[in-house]
Chains A and B, each alone.
Chain A
Amino acid sequence: DQQVKQNSPSLSVQEGRISILNCDYTNSMFDYFLWYKKYPAEGPTFLISISSIKDKNEDGRFTVFLNKSAKHLSLHIVPSQPGDSAVYFCAARRPIMNYGGSQGNLIFGKGTKLSVKP
């Protein structure tokens, strides 16, 4: 049962244009959503996160949008650069209520491979 879904395995974008990566989830208990970037043979690197009580968070070229009613979030990269080419993982945090919800597990999607062409 996949609780976090990234339905596009790959995305190709021209340098300078916008990249939009999408993610859907099924569990309404998730309280934070995160995006990680991963290069081959390296561990994932945290990019940006958003709380479930917000609908937008922006950090430089990266903006994450959350539509809680649709259980959908997206990552926008503007403008896209060749160095952005990587696999992007969407993750959702499932709080552990025994610990007052202050800690949780991250549930990951399968990733979307972004290629930014010069």
Chain B
Amino acid sequence: NAGVMQNPRHLVRRRGQEARLRCSPMKGHSHVYWYRQLPEEGLKFMVYLQKENIIDESGMPKERFSAEFPKEGPSILRIQQVVRGDSAAYFCASSPGFRVRNTEAFFGQGTRLTVV
């Protein structure tokens, strides 16, 4: 049973380019969370998605950032017109659906985004 898969593991983008980060949840999990970890910081919540539905995006920056979790395929975190301050490790986690209390979420290995 594969865990949460994130790709790419490392991503380098020039300022102004777009970054797309992918997350495939664990088998049977229909809920996905995205977190960002800046250097020397903890994990900051960004967005919580169910398939085809955004449940909570209170941690997402208002501009340039968007997330989706389509019916088919992985969840995508998209950052447009990247700036140096976007350089961070982005982690995805998944959990089962509403009928199960998500007292634990399983994390992927993260995507390290570097903006040059």
List the interface of chain A (C-beta within 8 A of B): 4, 6, 32, 34, 36, 41-46, 49, 51, 89, 91, 93, 96, 99, 102-111
Contacts and interface: CB of A to CB of B under 8 A. Distances in A.
B42 A109 contact: yes
Nearest to B3: A43
B91 interface: yes
B72 interface: no
Nearest to B31: A103
B103 A49 contact: yes
A111 B42 CA distance: 6
Interface residues of B, number: 31
A46 B98 contact: no
Contacts of A93: 102-103
Interface string B74-101: 0000000000000000010101001101
Interface string B34-55: 0100001111110010000001
A89 B48 CA distance: 19
Contacts of A91: 43
Given A89-B43, A102-B98, A107-B45, A43 B103 contact: no
Given A43-B4, A44-B43, A109-B42, A96 B107 contact: no
A-B residue pairs, 9 tightest by C-beta: A43-B107, A110-B42, A108-B43, A46-B104, A108-B42, A43-B109, A44-B107, A32-B103, A49-B103
Contacts of B4: 43
B101 A89 contact: no
Given A34-B103, A34-B104, A99 B98 contact: yes
B95 to A, nearest CB: 8
With a 10 A CB-CB cut-off, give which of B4, B6, B101 has the most chain A CB atoms: B101
Contact of A103 (B35, B40, B55): B55
Nearest to B45: A105
With a 10 A CB-CB cut-off, give which of B59, B102, B106, B110 has the most chain A CB atoms: B102
Nearest to A47: B104
A44 B41 contact: no
B75 to A, nearest CB: 15
Contacts of A42: 109-110
Nearest to A104: B102
